[in-house]
Amino acid sequence: MTDIAARDINNKGSKKLIGKFPSLLMGIIIKWESKLERDFLYLLEFDPEVLIYREQPMRILYNFEGKIRRYTPDFLVVRKHKKQIIEVKPKDKVFRKNNARRFHIISIICQRMGYEFKVITDEMIRVQPRLKNIKLLWKYARTPIYPQHQIYCREIFSARREVRLGEVIRAFETKGIGRQVVFSMIYHRVLYVNPMLSINSESIIQFIGETISVG
């Protein structure tokens, strides 16, 4: 394994779909090579365990069928308690004979180097309504959050532990503050909503009360 710079992601000479993702967590543009990779980026951005990540991070040399091969992982993800090498692939391609054998060999190499090798499939990424919720919240993640907004939250939640989202939004609107601030606070975990349930006006909201300033 080496730290040689990742291969350049481009679609020159191919019909490969590529795109750019403006990472809030990393503060840079992350390139993706499939819509599945793009959707995975939303999960990384929202996951509080993720510290940093990068695409096409390194090259791994491995022996397969008597030949030295080169493998470039999709992502390196550094979490609070472990480092991961991630391959993003549709489930129907994971268990093809050669892929399964290659991934087994690569996982052993990664383990020796202190990384967990993990294959992330579409079934793991495109869990709904979680992915839809995260995309909705991410749209508002750059909306500034100020201490006064948290004071308003304490007022709203002073007598109750749980309040419906519609009520929180209306309370902020009476102070001339748009709902985008509420969604930003949910994204940044000042407020909590269960991401596995559809977000709507009836969603149950809790005030976490973390001190945070965004913007």
pLDDT in tens, 29-76: 999 999 999 999 999 999 999 999 999 999 999 999 999 999 999 999
Burial class for 55, CB neighbours closer than 10 Å (0-12, 13-18, 19+)? buried
Q: Which residues touch 58 (CB under 8 Å, ≥6 apart)?
A: 1, 2, 3, 4, 6, 72, 73, 76
Q: What is the pLDDT of residues 176-196, one digit of tens each?
A: 999 999 999 999 999 999 999
Return the pLDDT at 101. 92
Higher pLDDT, 214 or 58: 58
pTM of the model: 0.90
Region for 128 from its dihedrals, namely left if φ exceeds 0, alpha if ψ lies in -120 to 50, beta otherwise: beta
Return the pLDDT at 6. 53
Which uninterrupted H or E stretch holds 149? helix 147-156
Q: Which residues touch 146 (CB under 8 Å, ≥6 apart)?
A: 213, 215
Q: What is the pLDDT of residues 1-42, one digit of tens each?
A: 333 345 566 655 556 789 999 999 999 999 999 999 999 999
Contact predicate 61/115, CB 8 Å: no
Return the pLDDT at 14. 55
